[in-house]
Structure 1
Amino acid sequence: MTGLFDGVLDHGPLASLTDDTAWLQALLDVEAALARALADTGVLPVRHAEAVADACRADRYDPSALGRAAADGGNPVIPLVGELTARVRETDPEAARHVHRGATSQDVMDTGAMLLARRAGAALLTDLRALADHLRELAGAHRATAMPGRTLLQQALPTTFGAVAAGWANGLAEAADQLQHVLEHRLAVQFGGAVGTLASLGADGPAVTAALAARLDLAEPVLPWHTERGRIAELAGALGRTCGAVGTAAQDIVLLAQTEVGELVEEGGPGVGGSSTLPHKRNPVAAVSALASARQAPGLVANLFAAQIQEHQRAAGSWHAEWLPLTDLLRRTGAAVAWLRTSAARLRVDAARMRANLDATGGLALSERVTTDLAPELGRAEAHRLVADACREAVDSGRELAGVLTRRLDGVRGGERIRALLDPSGYLGSAPVFTDRVTGAGSGRTGEAADTGPEDGTGRTDRAHGG
């Protein structure tokens, strides 16, 4: 059943990979793997293990009924084990005696959470890598497209849209690297029994743990981690970082798509981005939805971090408190990434509007360049004073800065030179080079510093970059 908010907040592939059926199958996969691990170590005959595994299909169980029954024991594994045992008993009464052998409920919940995270995380990584690749292409296409750089929401010096998109791509790529590391190296099986000693399995406990880890292709931990929740925290941190990278890009898109700015437009086709009251609106709805999803991550991450503090060998409530925040964090992260992919695919870059906005200050945004040019002759303090006075005059009089400077600097700098200094396309610094480092242009290396130097805005390299 689709909820009222699912179309926005559960967008993308992770919703179905973290729903009740996905959770239930993950728990059953743990029970099946445990039975087979017992057989692998000679504790249980193979035929009995297969009888258990055959009953571990989610479509044979009712998640809603299990959820209601969970109230009596405090977690859904208890009624699930009861139903699983009853089903196995129908075909192999002897095998039914070995269902869930050696495990405690938290073992199944924690290991199930690891499986769920790995499956959902794989889909998330695919989306995240594709998004970063698309933004790299966008950055390369606009390597030299000049636009206002903004600090504290005010125009500062010029930059390029290529550098902006490269920043988005790099942040997302690094978040993907961190998430991949967690998924590949930090997801581990949980198997400790009642207090983390596996006493009920005698000397076979460590061997069964190793076999269970191998069956599920999860890491074998040094010891059970019932109350040491670093793995959950690392996963939460990686997901939170991903949402931060997504949210930064989405917020930039929303701001750049404002009517008064108009440098980006989301073109989603008829009916997309409309308003319930205003016929003229073209809202950047995909970026807005990405931002709405990403903004929920900090609270969910905080809940999971807070749950790390747990008592003795099994906590009273803290591990229970992780289930929904972890599920929601996976879903919100998946939705954020999926929506930003949609936004990026819809983006139209208005280079002419970017240039018009650069020109809107009448050259004021390039005043630093004039100061730098004058400093060797006049000294930095005097150059700064002269240019600052000219800026004030230009603002007060409404005149172009170039005209004011030409008059004030008569005999020091000619009008042609001053206009060249105030041309934004000639003061982009190393923005194109930084873009190339992300796109891999000219070096064959993506994400590394290329051995090229800063450009003067015309495509010429002034000096070599030492790496």
Structure 2
Amino acid sequence: MSGASGDRGDPDGIDAGLLAPGWAGSPASASTSDRAFLQALIDAETALTRAWAGLSLAPAAAASALSAVTATDLDTTSIALRARHGGNPVIPLVADLTAAVGGEYGPYVHRGATSQDIMDTAMMLVARRTLRPVLEDLERTARALRVLAATHRDTVLPGRTLTQHAVPTTFGLKVAGWRALVLDARDRLAALRLPAQLGGAAGTLAAFASFGADDPQALVSSYARELGLVEPVLPWHTLRTPIGDLAGALALTAGALGKTAADVLTLSRTEIAEVAEGSGGGSSAMPHKANPVAATLIAAAARRAPGLAATLYASMAAEDERPAGAWHAEWEPLRELLRLVGGAARNAAELTEGLRVNADAMREHLGLNHGLIVSERLAVELAPVLGRARARDLLARAAERAVTEGRPLVDVLDEEPALKDVDLADLTDPARCTGSAGALTDRALERR
């Protein structure tokens, strides 16, 4: 049998991720390996034979014989190379499984199914197995962010818009926003319905009736139940909602984590230094550097995910009852999406659990523009006192003087006779200019 010699091309049966440090070593690296996919294909074939046996249309011993075969018994490289002849790995796999179970039980392997039935089902199995640790890592991330947001509920820092200081905000509110995105991603992944696929050659279940299934849908139900997947209403060979939903949820997750990474990358710049990764990575050339490696890897995943999802969405426009090319185009992008998100979720959990916050730097940066960061509040509060136009003109002149003379805005305003009865210390205190940031943070943290 061609499958007896083990994986010659890759002795470990996995792509180790030499060029993919973002997901290398993550749970997703194992659950999406070639060997893992091969095992999922075998599991799908085994479940089909069990479903036949459950209807008393195949010997239970045939299912048992097939259950005894695992991916480690087969030659992954040989199957991959032989897949060229039929365009997918199911065809050579069926030949190897048939040989493995022997002549008596061989006829019950792959009975009535088409290659796409097995490939699509295996994809759903791999997705389910990969998403379990992803969801666990997202929960870890959400817990860490909850603690961080609560701790820094009232830690004030510059709010930045279009790269510039705008008005004061709080680090707690920023982190609560990160957490909200993580929970959005978690909820979308948890809500995914991952169905089995079983339709036969053109999605009519015709072959199953020919093999004696009086109610082919009962076979589909049993098949899905064996696998722990959702029973499909219809065969979905060219109805690719499950793939589209999965692509969208994965891409959203990558983007959600990417937002946190983008902020960490910005705030950890040397000249800002408001946050730092707990264990930043080093540089091969510059010993002094502590690079934000986790955030960098998450950001890389977030940039790649949309293109991969786009390929999966494009494949939804599939012709006929089973397509040529559209279905085949899904396999690699879907696997890469699962890997990227699996790695990003792991990295996000580690990043947020170890993130260090420099509240002193945040406070110091509030004064970088001489106190102009509170000008919005001043304009609102002084308008009733001076009139809107006069208040605007006074503040414009004071702001120009503060910048030109290198003085705090509050000192310049203190020289204005018209403001002698105004509590300028209160109005120019950034901590008093954060609006409803604290209440918004509390509201966000109520979500579980």
TM range (shorter): over 0.9
Q: What's 1:381 paired with?
A: 389
- Aligned partner (choices 430, 440, 445) of residue 424 of structure 1: 430
Q: What's 1:82 paired with?
A: 95
- Alpha-carbon contact 2:26-2:346 (below 8 Å) kept: yes
Report the Cα offset of residue 396 of structure 1. Answer: 2.4
The 1:163–1:199 alpha-carbon spacing in structure 2 relative to 1, beyond 3 Å, is same
The CA distance in 2 between the partners of 1:34 and 1:381, in whole Å, is 78
| Residue 139 (str. 1) matches residue 149 (str. 2) | yes
- Alpha-carbon contact 2:257-2:348 (below 8 Å) kept: yes
Report the Cα offset of residue 414 of structure 1. Answer: 4.2
- Aligned partner (choices 184, 187, 198) of residue 191 of structure 1: 198
Q: What's 2:158 paired with?
A: 148
The CA distance in 2 between the partners of 1:307 and 1:43, in whole Å, is 36
The 1:357–1:62 alpha-carbon spacing in structure 2 relative to 1, beyond 3 Å, is same
- Alpha-carbon contact 1:287-1:340 (below 8 Å) kept: yes
| Residues 273-329 of structure 1: CA deviation (Å, up to 9, x unaligned) | 222222221211111111112221011111111111111011001111101000000
Q: What's 2:377 paired with?
A: 369
Q: Percent of aligned positions with the same letter in both sequences?
A: 47
Secondary structure at 2:415 match in 1: helix
Q: What's 1:452 paired with?
A: none
| Residue 120 (str. 1) matches residue 135 (str. 2) | no
Report the Cα offset of residue 383 of structure 1. Answer: 2.1
Report the Cα offset of residue 232 of structure 1. Answer: 0.2
| Residue 48 (str. 1) matches residue 62 (str. 2) | yes
The CA distance in 2 between the partners of 1:400 and 1:141, in whole Å, is 30
| Residue 33 (str. 1) matches residue 41 (str. 2) | no
Secondary structure at 2:104 match in 1: helix
- Which segment is superposed worse, 216-225 or 349-358? 216-225
Report the Cα offset of residue 400 of structure 1. Answer: 1.8
Q: What's 2:405 paired with?
A: 397
* Letter of the 1:110 counterpart: D
The CA distance in 1 between the partners of 2:277 and 2:191, in whole Å, is 33
The CA distance in 2 between the partners of 1:178 and 1:413, in whole Å, is 56
* Letter of the 1:12 counterpart: S
- Alpha-carbon contact 1:137-1:439 (below 8 Å) kept: no
| Residues 388-434 of structure 1: CA deviation (Å, up to 9, x unaligned) | 222122222322211221223x143447x112211111111111111
Q: What's 1:130 paired with?
A: 140
Q: What's 1:247 paired with?
A: 258
- Alpha-carbon contact 2:170-2:437 (below 8 Å) kept: yes
| Residues 322-367 of structure 1: CA deviation (Å, up to 9, x unaligned) | 0100000000011111112222223210001100000112110001
Secondary structure at 1:330 match in 2: helix
Matches within 5 A, 1:104-115: 104-115=114-125
The CA distance in 1 between the partners of 2:369 and 2:188, in whole Å, is 41
Q: What's 2:189 paired with?
A: 179
Secondary structure at 1:148 match in 2: strand
Q: What's 2:28 paired with?
A: 14
The CA distance in 2 between the partners of 1:411 and 1:109, in whole Å, is 77
- Alpha-carbon contact 1:11-1:339 (below 8 Å) kept: no
Q: What's 2:7 paired with?
A: none
When the two structures are superposed, what TM-score results if normalisation uses the length of structure 1? 0.89
- Aligned partner (choices 79, 86, 89) of residue 66 of structure 1: 79
Secondary structure at 1:197 match in 2: coil
- Alpha-carbon contact 2:148-2:175 (below 8 Å) kept: yes
Secondary structure at 1:174 match in 2: helix
* Letter of the 1:223 counterpart: L
Q: What's 1:263 paired with?
A: 274
* Letter of the 2:261 counterpart: A
- Alpha-carbon contact 1:144-1:162 (below 8 Å) kept: yes
| Residue 209 (str. 1) matches residue 233 (str. 2) | no
Report the Cα offset of residue 11 of structure 1. Answer: 4.6
- Alpha-carbon contact 2:277-2:292 (below 8 Å) kept: yes
| Residues 2-51 of structure 1: CA deviation (Å, up to 9, x unaligned) | 34224334352111011011101111100110001011122213222222
Q: What's 1:24 paired with?
A: 38
* Letter of the 2:274 counterpart: E
CA RMSD of aligned residues (A): 1.5
What 5-or-longer segments of structure 2 have no aligned partner?
Answer: 1-11
| Residue 352 (str. 1) matches residue 366 (str. 2) | no
- Alpha-carbon contact 1:406-1:414 (below 8 Å) kept: no
Secondary structure at 2:158 match in 1: strand
The CA distance in 1 between the partners of 2:420 and 2:90, in whole Å, is 80
The CA distance in 2 between the partners of 1:378 and 1:414, in whole Å, is 12
- Which segment is superposed worse, 378-387 or 343-352? 378-387
The CA distance in 1 between the partners of 2:20 and 2:160, in whole Å, is 35
The 1:380–1:124 alpha-carbon spacing in structure 2 relative to 1, beyond 3 Å, is same
| Residue 167 (str. 1) matches residue 181 (str. 2) | no
What 5-or-longer segments of structure 1 have no aligned partner?
Answer: 441-445, 448-467
- Aligned partner (choices 343, 348, 351) of residue 335 of structure 1: 343
* Letter of the 1:283 counterpart: N
* Letter of the 1:134 counterpart: A
* Letter of the 2:362 counterpart: M
